[in-house]
Structure 1
Amino acid sequence: MNEDLARAKTDQTFECLTFDLEKTLPLPRIPTNIVFYKRQLWLYNSGILAGSNDTGHCNVWLEGEAGRGAQEVGSCLVRYIKHKMDPKVEELALWSDCCGGQNRNIKIVLMLKALLNSHPSLQTITFKYLESGHTFLPNDTDFSKIEYQLKFHERIYTAEDYINVMKSCRKKNPLKVYRMQMKDFVSTSKIEKKIVNRKTFISKEKVNWLKTKEICIKKNFKHSIFMKIDGVVKELNIEKKVRGKVLDISEDDFNYLWPDGKEIAQAKLDDLTSMFHLIPKDCLDFYKFLKGKESEEDVDGYGAEPDFEVELELGDDEEK
C-alpha cells in the first residue's frame, strides 16, 4: 500500500485511493443520560484518501437517506473518480480492509466495472485488501482527528454541525467534505440483470470471494473479473447473451438506489421524536424528513435487500 501511495505522487497516469467507513456518529449528540437509553439517528462518513496529494475526502449522509452497504460505498468511489480524479489517470489502485459486506463483493466490483467501461482514460482498476489484523489505513488518521475534535463539541444536532467539525479538525491540508445527495447513490440492479454471476472460474474452480486478496478489472476484458487467490490469478467470466448478442454494461445502466430515501425503524423514529424537547427549535426541521416503518431495527445499515442471486450457468434460456 505504501508503495502504491508513493507511486501516485510521481506517476500522473497512476492513482492510489484508500477508503473506509468511519464508525457511526449519533444525532443528536447531547450530554444527558436520557440519550443513552434512546435510539439515535446515525450519520455515516465514507472516507477517501488520494495518494497523489494526500488529501482526505469525507462523503457524508444520514441513515434516513441511504444505508451503508457496498452500493453506498461504491457510489462514493464513483463520484470521486468521475468528478475529482485527475483525467490523465489510466491505472487506479483501491486499498481497503477486507469487509465483505462493503468492499469485497460482486456489487461494488460491478459498479466500478460499469464506470471503467465508460471512462475516457482509465484502463484498469485493482481492488487490494489488507490482511486481517493489519488493516490500519490512512483514513483512520483522519477519523481519529475528527473524533478528537468532537471532544470539544458536546452538543451536535444536525449533519451540518458534524460537517463543520470535519472541515476544521485539520489545520494543514484540511479535509474536503461533501454532503451526499439522493442522486449520488446508484444501484447495480440493472447491471445484475445483464451479467451472469457464475459460481466457478473459467478453470472450473469454485469462486470464493472471501479468500480473494486482489481483484482486477480491465477495460480490454469487458466481461472478465480477475481474482487473486493464494497468489494465483483466476478469471471469472460474467458474459451474458440474449438471442446471441452479448450484453455490455456501462454507467448508463446506473439507476437511483434510494430515490425516496430509506425508511428507519418506527421504534427509532419514536425515540427521536421523544427527544425533540432537548433539541433547539431551529434544528427540529432537520429531523422532519424522516420516515418510519414497522420492522426490526436496521442495526448495520445494510438494508433489507436480498443477496445477489447466482444465475445458473447451464440451462439458462437467455444464454442459449
Structure 2
Amino acid sequence: MISSRALKIVNLATVTHEKVAEEQGLQNCETNNNNEYTKRQFVASRVEQIPIKRTRERNSERRSKRQFTNHYSFEVNGLKVVVCKNFFLNTLCISQQTVDTALLKKEGGLVTPNKRGKHTPSNKISEAVRNGVRSHISKFPTYESHYSRKKNQKEVLGDANVPNKNIAKKWLYSEIFNYEYNYSFKTPDSDTCDICDKYKIQLQESSIEERTTPQEDYERHLTDDKKVLMIDPQKCLPTPELHNSQSFYFLKFWTYNLTIHDSTAQKYFCMMWDESVAGRGGNEVASCLLKFVSSYVPETTEQLTIWSDNCPSQNRNVQMIMCYEWIFKLKQSLKVIIHKYLSREHTHLEVDGDHSVIERERKKIPQLRIITPWDWQQVVRLCSTKNPFTVVNIELEDFVDFKKLCEGPNAPFIMKKTSEDSEPFLISKIVHFEVRQDSPGMVFFKTAFDDNNFRKLDLNRRLRRSASTSILENLHQIRDSTRPISTKKYNHLQQLLPWVPNVFHHFYKNLPHGDGGEDSD
C-alpha cells in the first residue's frame, strides 16, 4: 500500500513558521493533489519567473544558459509570502520536475490542459460498423437444436463491392456476439422436409395474433386422453467397450436400446437388453412397445399415436399391427392406435436427439468402463440430471411372438394381399395406418399423407369363436431359453478377456453359444 503524502519540515533560515503555518501548507498539499491540471495551475500561479539581472562569468568558454530566476511564494491571509524553493517543494510534496512542467505549459498566465484522450483515435471502430454487426446478428433465425449427423453444404456471399471501411474484424464480431447476445450456433439441418421448413418460416414471420390459433390447437392436442410417442432403435452398443488397437478387429457382444420419446409428457424411456436375450427384429420392437404401453400409458388415454422410421424389419411389418390388436385387449380405454411413418424427405425424429445426448455424455465420463450390458444401462441413467432417462431392462419372458397371431390355420388373423377395394396391399407403401377398438381386425390405412379417405384391410380369419378366443388369450415367448451367439463370436470374446477385469470373466465364459448361433450386425 502506498502511504499518503505528508508535510516535510525543513530548516528555515529566512522564513519562519509564523509567516507560513504548517496547517496552511497541509491544506495546500491536500487541495492541489486532487487533480493534475489544478495542481499545475496552482504551482504555476505561485511561481514567478523573473529575468536574471546579471550574469557572473566564471569561465569564458562556458557561460550559464539560465534566463530566469524563479520566485516561490504562498498566499497567507491574503498576503503574498515569499519562500525558498526547498520550503515550497516540501510543503507541496512535489519535485522540481513538477514545477518545470507547470511553467513549460503556462501560456498567458494559465496552464494549458492535458490534451491526451480528447480526440477520436484514427483506428477506432465506428458506431456504424458496430450497428451493422448487431443488425446482422439480429437476423439469425433462432430455433431449438436437433440432432443431425449428415454433411452440410454451405453457400456464402461474395466479397465484391464491399467497402473496406464497413468491414468488421472477426474479433469485433465475436465480442458483440458473445457479450451482447445470448446465442449459440448449431450445424444446419441436412435432412429437413421442404414443407416443414416452409411452415416454420411462415410461423417465425407471423404476428402474435396469427400464432394464437395453431398454439391453441397444439395445447388442445397435449391432453391426457392423447399420447404421442416416437420410437427408434439406437445403433448397437459394443460390449465390452475397448479402445486398444487389437480389440478393434474382434467381434463384440452387442447391447440393444430401443428409445421411446414421449413427446406429450416430455419423458424418455430406454428399453435395453443384450443379444443373448433377443435380437432386434419386428417381434422385439413390438414387445418393447407392449411393455411400455402396459407400464407407462395411463388408463385415461384414448388415442395413441406412434411415429417411426420406415425400417421394414423393425417398424413397418405385420408384427406391429398384431401388437396393437393385442394392446386393445390390455387397455380397454384406448379407442384408436395410429402409426405414422416418416416420409422420405423427412427423416428426423426427436428421439434422434436423445441418442445424441447418450453419445455425447458417454464421452464426458471416460472413467466409467463399459464391461457388461448393465454398464450401458448405468451410462444412460447418468446422461441427464434435469430430465433423466428411464431405463427398462427387458427380460427373456417379455419378448413374445406376435407373428403367431396371423400364422397357422387356427390363428385369429390372416395377412391378406388385397384390400377391400380390390387393390393390392403392400405394407411397404403405407405411410399411415390406424387400428380401432370398435373394429377388431380392421386396418385403416393411407399410402399418402394427403389422401382424404382411409382404405380398409380386413385381417380377420373366419374361425370358430372358441378357436379365436383361445389364441387371443395366450401369447407365446419368442424362445424359452437364452439366444446363443455364434462360436466364432464366442471365441473372439474369449480373446478379449486379457483386457477385461477378472471379476467379469465368468459372464463371458458362460455365454450361450453354438454353431447354430447368430451374429447380430
198, 203, 208: which one aligns with 2:416: 198
263, 268, 284: which one aligns with 2:505: 284
- Confirm whether residue 241 of structure 1 aligns to residue 455 of structure 2: no
**In structure 2, what is the equivalent of residue 314 of structure 1?**
none
**In structure 1, what is the equivalent of residue 317 of structure 2?**
105
Residues 239 and 246 in structure 1, CA contact (< 8 A), matched pair in contact too: no
In structure 2, relative to structure 1, the CA distance for the partners of 1:9 and 1:238 (3 Å cut) is: closer
**In structure 2, what is the equivalent of residue 160 of structure 1?**
374
Partner Cα distance (1:91, 1:252) in 2: 23
In structure 2, relative to structure 1, the CA distance for the partners of 1:18 and 1:243 (3 Å cut) is: closer
Partner Cα distance (1:182, 1:297) in 2: 16
* 1:177 aligned partner, one-letter code: V
360, 373, 386: which one aligns with 1:148: 360
**In structure 2, what is the equivalent of residue 218 of structure 1?**
436
Partner Cα distance (1:219, 1:170) in 2: 37
- Confirm whether residue 42 of structure 1 aligns to residue 42 of structure 2: no
**In structure 2, what is the equivalent of residue 313 of structure 1?**
none
480, 492, 502: which one aligns with 1:271: 492
* 1:99 aligned partner, one-letter code: C
Partner Cα distance (2:324, 2:431) in 1: 17
In structure 2, relative to structure 1, the CA distance for the partners of 1:180 and 1:289 (3 Å cut) is: farther
CA deviations 1:55-102 (Å, max 9, x no partner) are: 100010001110001111111111111111121001000011111111
Q: Which has more radius of gyration?
A: 2
> In proportion to residue count, which structure has more helix?
2
Give the superposition deviation at 1:196: 1.4
**In structure 2, what is the equivalent of residue 183 of structure 1?**
397
**In structure 2, what is the equivalent of residue 294 of structure 1?**
515
- Confirm whether residue 128 of structure 1 aligns to residue 128 of structure 2: no
Partner Cα distance (2:465, 2:300) in 1: 36
Give the superposition deviation at 1:288: 4.0
284, 293, 301: which one aligns with 1:81: 293
Report how many aligned residue pairs link the two structures: 299
Partner Cα distance (1:124, 1:60) in 2: 27
> What's the secondary structure of 2:376's corresponding residue?
helix
> What's the secondary structure of 2:229's corresponding residue?
strand
* 2:396 aligned partner, one-letter code: M
Residues 185 and 256 in structure 1, CA contact (< 8 A), matched pair in contact too: yes
**In structure 2, what is the equivalent of residue 15 of structure 1?**
227
CA deviations 1:262-319 (Å, max 9, x no partner) are: 111111111011111211011223324421122485344xxxxxxxxxxxxxxxxxxx
The TM-score normalised by the length of structure 2 is 0.54
In structure 2, relative to structure 1, the CA distance for the partners of 1:6 and 1:160 (3 Å cut) is: farther
> What's the secondary structure of 1:255's corresponding residue?
coil
Structure 1 unaligned regions, length at least 5: 301-320
The root-mean-square deviation of aligned C-alpha atoms, in Å, is 2.4
The TM-score normalised by the length of structure 1 is 0.87
Partner Cα distance (2:295, 2:239) in 1: 29
Partner Cα distance (2:318, 2:362) in 1: 36
Identity over the aligned pairs, expressed in percent? Answer: 27
> What's the secondary structure of 2:256's corresponding residue?
strand
In structure 2, relative to structure 1, the CA distance for the partners of 1:180 and 1:296 (3 Å cut) is: closer
**In structure 2, what is the equivalent of residue 311 of structure 1?**
none
In structure 2, relative to structure 1, the CA distance for the partners of 1:73 and 1:243 (3 Å cut) is: closer
> What's the secondary structure of 1:39's corresponding residue?
coil
* 1:80 aligned partner, one-letter code: F
Structure 2 unaligned regions, length at least 5: 1-195, 201-213
TM superposition outliers: structure 1 runs of 4+ over 6 Å: none
Give the superposition deviation at 1:195: 1.2
In structure 2, relative to structure 1, the CA distance for the partners of 1:31 and 1:287 (3 Å cut) is: same
* 1:106 aligned partner, one-letter code: V
Residues 8 and 15 in structure 1, CA contact (< 8 A), matched pair in contact too: no
Partner Cα distance (1:188, 1:85) in 2: 20
* 2:475 aligned partner, one-letter code: F
CA deviations 1:93-145 (Å, max 9, x no partner) are: 00111111111111111012111134221111000111124221111111111
230, 236, 258: which one aligns with 1:24: 236
Give the superposition deviation at 1:9: 6.7
**In structure 1, what is the equivalent of residue 328 of structure 2?**
116
CA deviations 1:189-239 (Å, max 9, x no partner) are: 431222111110011110111110001000111121111113252111111
In structure 2, relative to structure 1, the CA distance for the partners of 1:196 and 1:236 (3 Å cut) is: same
* 1:68 aligned partner, one-letter code: R
In structure 2, relative to structure 1, the CA distance for the partners of 1:240 and 1:248 (3 Å cut) is: farther
In structure 2, relative to structure 1, the CA distance for the partners of 1:163 and 1:296 (3 Å cut) is: closer
Structure scoring higher RCO (CA < 8 A, sep ≥ 6) equals 1
* 1:277 aligned partner, one-letter code: P
Partner Cα distance (1:221, 1:281) in 2: 57
Residues 240 and 246 in structure 1, CA contact (< 8 A), matched pair in contact too: no
Residues 309 and 315 in structure 2, CA contact (< 8 A), matched pair in contact too: yes
**In structure 2, what is the equivalent of residue 317 of structure 1?**
none
> What's the secondary structure of 1:57's corresponding residue?
strand
Partner Cα distance (1:253, 1:115) in 2: 13
